[in-house]
Structure formats: structure tokens, C-alpha cells
Structure 1
């Protein structure tokens, strides 16, 4: 077993950003032994060793606000084909991930990405991650404010910034100007959301602020700072939050509690929202404007799929479902060609539900676009199951995973679609292959958390089933109702739940309302209907 790396000690000896020189050195000399401490810092450039650590790597690229153009997407697809066995996955932070990457190819990959304005700096590691945002920012006719401007400003400032390259743990920023809070401020370290506030007798548009959200094995919701920020006021406040996080010694004492959420809400070390607000004020040198908490949207877990008119007259955006976010390099190249042909800005936008949107489509081209998408194998009218299945990488590539997720997620979506061909009521299904919540199972209508169980004396892949998660006005983390359901029965389990929900629903109630109306024991019985008894 490889020795455990004390990453805090490593970071004191070498800034994570400096490891690029070592990456280049190892790439040029593939037989040169790699220092385990350098390997630990590869993450600062989006690189993880791929399971089973036999020379291949995952490489994650950053896509601020999920926004791309055709040239960028074509380059991403070409790299997938040339170096990653044709695979590219959309992530829950609007990025792309490659697999099967050899270190010797990384310098060329980084060069090709840089040539189209894409970076991997900070895609992983104890640093500011990809800044996420609303995928229809700037084109949504009903948005409070175009959050993409701020998202890109923050991304540009923090990416590769040596003043913030040694944080206690990962650091995630969300900027969302739409009325849905679709960029999930509740579960980000810093969540900025669009809001209106009266100043000097005039209604102004800007941002509310949440701090300290995150999932993993101990999910905690962000705390609202009860303030309203005009766009020009945001930068100094976010910088203050980042400095507080960076300078916190108590967070560095225990890596299992090193996320910002613990400084806000941990029973032992958490300071609470009021004190944290005061800490921000001490940093910026003046009080924050007080605002009564803004009302959160009821349904925040959407990604704007469908065909919708933009605020720009005569233009539309079209959402396309990608079950579990998995695409091929050829898919991406075809999509780039479609964007070039039909979008006036050759614009593609990834969503945090692992789907994508093509924007700036002239109305007269909508029919042709839909035909081109269908011919290329894309679905602009996905079923409620295929559009809403989210999945982590799973055991196929991840060293922490216990179960396979991607193919199972696809199969479950296909089978549910066959069983409920006319389904129209939303059901968000989130797969995580281990307890770390990378597939966001804690906020799914149905969350699947990977593990193992014994069947006929043999250990098999299985999932705990969690129900009732959501963000927004009624935010709640999904709670476990059934444990260790074998993977082979997951479709049956979800079908049992959905069928029972449809029979119960009489007035448009949501699946989460159905969950709240039943006890965990009742729901477990529904899950297990028709299954063999537990061993």
C-alpha cells in the first residue's frame, strides 16, 4: 500500500501550481519514477490517477458557467478521440472529464486546450474549482440579472491565482441570476443568487449571498448572510470570504472537517451565520447591507431544458438531454458542427444536470435544428427519466467508488421509460458509487448511494435508497429508507416508488410531497415489493 500523504505538509513545501513543471518533466521522461507528493499535487491541474492506478489518468477541464463555443467543443472532442479512447463526461459542475489519459500526453493536451481558451488549472485540488452558473444566463427572458458576467470575472481572478492556491480544501462558487436558483447556491461554499431590493426608493437588481454549503459524507446547507449586494459590491465580499477560508487554521487541523461548511455549521468549530457575517464585515471594513431573507424558489432542481424563447427577439434556446452525461468525442464534434450551423453565436452551454443547451437559434431554423440533432443521435425531448438521471464516475474509473454507476444509470432510465412511456411527472434520480455524494444523491428525489451486500453467499454491488432531497424553499437532504438493495433490483425499486406515487398523486403533488406523506417503513415496503426477502 502506498504511504499516506500529508497534503498540508506537502503544500507547505510546494505550491500546487508549481507542479506543472514536474508534470512536464515526467511527461518527457515516462520511465522517470514519479514522486508521490507530486502525484498528490497533479490535482491542481485537474489530474487524478485513474482506477486501478496503472498509468492512466482522469483529466478534468474547467468550463466557467458551462459556456462553450463550437471551436472549443470541437477541440474537446478531438482530444477525447486522440487521447481518451473517445470518452468525455459532462460533470455536475458544468465541466468535461476525460479518462484513459497518459501523463506523457498531458502537455500536448493542455496546449491544445489553451489554444481555444480552455484551462484545467483548479479543476481539482485545494483551490477554487470551476465557477458554476445558470446555463441560460444572459438569454433567459425572466432572469433577475445576467450572472455569467460575474461568474467569468470571479473565474478569471481565482484561476491560477497564487494568493489562493493553498486553501484548506476544495472551494466552490456558484453565481445564478435566474429565478430558479438552478446553480444550487444551497450546496456551494459561496452561493450568489439573483434578487431584487429597494434602495433609495428604487427597486435594484443584484445578489443575495449564501455561504458554507456542501455535500460529501456530511452534507450541510449554506447559511444565508441576509444581505443584498449590488453587482459592483460582490467581488470584495467574495474575496473576504475566500480569505477567511484560506486563513483558517482550525480548518487545516483536521482534513475531514476542512471545508468552509464546517466553519459555519459544525457543532464544535462552527461560528454560525451571524458571526461569519461579522467576520466578513471586519475584512471589508464596513457593514453589509441588511436584507430580510429572500424567498427561495419552490423548484430549484431544473436545468432549463425544452425549447424556449430568449430575451433577444427572434432567438430561441434548445435543451438536449444526455443520460448520465456521457458523450463520445465524435458526439462533441457533431454537436460543434450543429452549433456552428444553427446558432448565431455557435453557443453550447453545459448544465449541472449533465445535459446541454444550444442557444441563439433563429426561430426559422428550429425545425431544421431538431432534425439535425435527431440525425446526430441527440434527444431534445428526453423523457422525465433520461433528462434527470445524474451519475458520478463510478467504479469504472474512480478509486473511491464501490459500485458501477454510469451504465446502470443509463439502463435504469431506459427501463423506466419502457415501463412508463407516458410519464410526465418529474423524478430526479442521482447515483453515487460510494458515500462521498459526488452524484449529489443527498439532493435527489431518489438518491442511490453505492455499497455492497451479500446475495446467496456472494458479495454483490448494492445501493442504499435515499428519498426526498431538494434545494430551495423546502430544502432537505434525502433520508435513507432502504439499505443494500442489490443493483439488479434498482429499476424495480424505483418503478415501485414511481407507480405508487402516481397512484397517490391526485392534485399535482410532487414526488417529495409523496415522500413526506409516508413513513420510512412504508416507503421501504414499497421499495421491496416483489423482491426476495433480505438475507
Structure 2
């Protein structure tokens, strides 16, 4: 199987530096630069005076070595904004060219590749974040996902696809990675094989994936990835960028037509003579518990007896920059401990004894304390070029309102906020979701968000949230506080209340809809 040594990417860096220098010298437009720089995993921010870089790691698998490199880079370049993304990558923001070059090149020495982090390329492979340690998982999918990620990187040097391609792996029905509605998703089965879904995705024209194969042996997954790419190249829309995602092929080919087209390409790949069989070793956690115990809302018992994972959810997925270094300092001498980034912007630190978990709990005590505070937000319009609304700003406002109202944990669910329809905040699958909009009142445009309700990503119960209407940004904290108080008044949590009153949230929202 063909692979690319991370060091090989260094040969491409001079071209990136040349274009970046020209952009910051005012010789290249923002649009032209975006079309080039995205392929390297970097974009200019909204004001055009600074850039971001996206550090891709399959499954958000953050080893101590990678964590130390990122923490050291943050200190070296005085990085003041960090974001854990819903694609399990780490974004560093407000960077000047020197920092971009140093982080991009230095990361390659630690197995962190930024290439393909944007543009019309395969993106970071997403994986159930606790794969390998989660109680009840069907099997550990992380090694297969990491091998898939390495294989997908080889496509960057080949014929360009119509748009980006997102691949996800799930280890069980929780489906945190949305594997049943990615461009390509590998869904673990209890028998140790995968079902394969294709041509799904959130955002405009959101679609659930089509099941294109069942009972696929894990060692055969690369054939399906190759077939996906060939199907996209053959039938994807190269002429209309807005319709150049795999989910639009469900419309142009029809569901049955798409499945037929996929299998035609799959047959060609198998007949081509390519050896794409995988031979991966499944790592085992050899560490054992020492009889020390840990407990708390953020403590998760692993399937390895006596070991724990600790969840840390910085508000909006934006930890204080120095926090990564502080976490590294605590875990650096702990055996087999590493971190994972989740698709909901949570960081998990895993393979901890009870006493070690207590130390990690202490260093991560500045994050979410309630379910509502683990809400998800994209980076928002203050930074993102295409963002319409400040999703991060709204999240901080509603958390402040929740705390001031003294709402009990569980009175409000986790919400999902996107600054626009692109659904980087995954608003379409939240119990409550918002996407950025605007409302013209008396010929004046007001910041607003569209409310979505009752979405779900759980396998077998997937639902895109119902669009209810538009609420002014300034009214959203009041709406959520009133909702929380109403739920509390019946002595229920939000899920119980919503099940008892299916139209209840709509009734409360009526007062605020524009």
C-alpha cells in the first residue's frame, strides 16, 4: 500500500511560503490565496491580517509527543487562541507568517500533517474518541481509521476531487462521528466487521448516507475508500462548487443509481490488481489499575479495570492556550496516558489510575460543569471568512445567563451553534441547534439565529432537526432561561420534559420568533 512519509511534505512548503508572503504583501487577493492555502491547512482570517492553521490528527489521537509540540509552539509563537474542532483537529488562530511556517514544518517532525486540512481534499478522519478503552464498544476502530487517514493523504498528490471528502469511523451506536451520514462512513458491527455508508453530510442539502455495503472485513476498507474517490471523480459536480459534495450525487444519480455507481467503481478497484489489504496491529492497553479510585461527572470508567478517562470540555472548544502545556506537564510521566479530541470539542485524557485522574481533574477544572455548558460552537464570524454570526459570542452569553439563572444541571440540553448554514457547529443534529442568520426589522438588519429542534445522530434514530424559525440574537438567552425554568418547574430533565411535551419548546419559542 502506497504511503507518504511526512517528511516528503516539506518539499511543498517553499511554494506555500512564496504565496503567503505575496498575500501579506498585498500582492494576492484573499480569494486567490484561500484557493491555494487551504490545501496546506491554513486560511487567512476574516480581517486578512492574520491566519489560522489546522493540525490534523486522525481520530483526534493526541499523543504526548504531539501534545508537547503543540504546547511548545503555542509558547514559542505566543498563540492566543486555540480551538478543538468538530472534525477532531486542533486549530491555532491569529498567526503571523513566521508562526505558520514554523508550526507547519515543525509539525511534520511529530507526525502532524496540515496538508489537506482545507481545500478540495480528504479531511481529517474522524473516530469515536474513546475507541480502544470504551465500555460496550463493538471493537477498537482507531487503528483502521489511522491507516485510512494515511492512505487518504496519498490522494492529495493525485487528481483533485470536486470538493472535500470527509470519512468517519464509529465504534458503536452512539455515532459521535456521524459515520452514517459522512461522505464515507465505516460503522462498526458487533461481529467485528463494518457496514459502509456513503454520500451523506450536514450543511446545505443535508442528507443521511446510503448503505452501500454490509459486513465488510476491516482489512478491506481501503478498497472502499478508493472506490469512493473514483465515484466522486466520475459523478461529482466540477462545474457548480455549491453542489460539489457527495450528497448531491443522491439527487443526480438517485439512491439506487448512486449505489450502483459505487459498486461499479468498487468492482473496478478489486479487479485492478491493487493490493490494498490492511495488516494492522491492534494495540492493547497493558497498564493496570492500582486500586486507587476516582469519581465525578467528568470521570469515565474504561473497559480496562481500574483505569479511567477524564473529560475536559473548554467552553466552545477553546481552551486557554497555556492549558495544553499544563495538561502535558501533569501527564508527561504517566504511563500510557494520552489525549483524544472528540467531535463535540471535548478532550479526553485516557488510561489514568484513580490517583492520576484526580490530578487531571484538578488541572482541567476551568471547563464545563453542566451538560448545557458542554454545548458546541464553531469558531464563528469574528474569525471565519464565511461565517455570518458570532457563534462563540452567543455561546458565552447563554452560558452566562444559565449560570446567573441558577438552572439545575439537565434543565437544558447540550446545544449546537453554527455561525452559518455550513453546520460546523453541527446544529442540524442537536436537540437544540442554532445557525447564524439575520432579520430585517423596519429596514434595519439585526443579528439573529434560526432555531432547530429534536435532531439526533444516534445510529438507527438519526433525525435532522426541525427548523422552527428565527430568533434575534439578543433574545436567545432569555428564551433558553425561560425554557430551563419551565423544565425545572416539573421536576424533570430536558429529555424527559421534551418527551412529555412534544410541542412544548415550540410554544415557548413563539414569544421570541420573528
> Do the two structures share a fold, i.e. TM-score over 0.5?
yes
Query: In the alignment, which residue of structure 2 is the partner of 1:212?
Result: 199
Structure 2 runs not aligned, ≥5 long: 1-8, 272-296
Offset, 1:212: 1.1
The answer to which of 107-116 and 492-501 deviates more is 492-501
Alignment of 1:333 with 2:325, yes or no, is yes
Q: Which residue of 1 aligns with 2:387?
A: 401
Aligned to 1:527: 509
TM-score by length of 2: 0.85
| Matches for 1:234-245 after TM superposition, within 5 Å | 234-245=221-232
Indicate the residue corresponding to 1:416 in structure 2. 402
Matched, 1:323 2:294: no
1:442 paired with 2:428, answer yes
Q: Output the CA distance in 2 between the equivalents of 1:403 and 1:478.
A: 20
> Which residue of structure 2 aligns with residue 167 of structure 1?
161
Deviation at 1:428, TM superposition (A): 2.5
1:69–1:506 Cα change, 3 Å: closer
Describe the shift of the 1:272–1:347 C-alpha distance in structure 2 as closer, same or farther (beyond 3 A).
same
Equivalences for residues 128-527 of structure 1 within 5 A:
128-162=122-156, 164=158, 166-196=160-190, 204-248=191-235, 250-263=236-249, 265-266=250-251, 272=257, 274-285=259-270, 306-341=298-333, 343-374=334-365, 377-378=366-367, 382-387=369-374, 389-424=375-410, 427-454=413-440, 458-471=444-457, 472-483=459-470, 485-501=471-487, 509-510=495-496, 513=499, 517-518=502-503, 523-527=505-509
- Aligned partners of 1:507 and 1:427: how far apart in 2? 9
SS at match of 1:251: coil
Q: Is the 8 A contact 1:445 1:512 kept in 2?
A: no
Q: Indicate the larger mover: 319-328 or 309-318.
A: 309-318
Residues 200 and 208 in structure 2, CA contact (< 8 A), matched pair in contact too: yes
1:75 aligns with 2:61: no
In structure 1, how many angstroms separate the alpha carbons of the residues matched to 2:117 and 2:93? Answer: 14
- Name the CA distance, whole Å, in 2 between partners of 1:226 and 1:502: 45
The residue number in structure 2 matching 1:66 is 60
Task: Judge conservation of contact 1:137–1:177 (CA < 8 Å) in 2.
Answer: yes
Indicate how the Cα distance of structure 1 residues 231 and 109 shifts in structure 2: closer, same or farther if over 3 A, else same: same
Higher mean C-alpha deviation, range 424-433 or range 26-35: 26-35
Match of 2:17 in 1: 24
Tell me if the contact between 1:81 and 1:87 (Cα under 8 Å) persists in the aligned partners. no
TM-score by length of 1: 0.82
* 1:165–1:109 CA distance, 2 compared to 1 (3 A): farther
Change (3 A) 1:442 1:164: farther
| RMSD (CA atoms) | 2.9
SS of residue matched to 2:189: strand
Question: Following TM superposition, by how much is the alpha carbon of 1:84 offset from its aligned partner in structure 2, in angstroms?
Answer: 6.1
Residue 414 of structure 1 and its aligned partner are, at CA, apart by 3.1
Residues in 2 aligned to 1:251 and 1:165: alpha-carbon distance in whole angstroms: 14
For each residue in 1:198-240, what CA deviation from the matched residue of structure 2 results, as whole angstroms up to 9, or x when unmatched?
Answer: xxxxxx3111111111112211111122511111122212221
User: How many matched pairs?
Assistant: 479
Q: What is the CA-CA distance between 1:479 and the residue it aligns to?
A: 1.6
* SS of equivalent to 1:279: helix
Residue 51 of structure 1 is matched in structure 2 by 46
The answer as to whether partners of 1:69 and 1:347 remain within 8 angstroms in 2 is yes
1:153 and 1:441 mapped to 2: Cα distance?
Answer: 30
Q: Distance in 2 between matches of 1:17 and 1:41?
A: 16
| Cα deviation 1:165-185 (Å, max 9, x = unaligned) | 611101000012234222211
Query: Taking structure 1 as reference, are residues 273 and 512 closer, same or farther at Cα in structure 2, changes over 3 Å only?
Result: farther
The Cα shift of 1:360 comes to 0.9
**Cα deviation digits, residues 337-369 of structure 1 (max 9, x gap):** 12224x422401111111110001013433333
Contact 2:116 2:122 in 1 (8 A): yes
- Residues in 2 aligned to 1:277 and 1:513: alpha-carbon distance in whole angstroms: 39
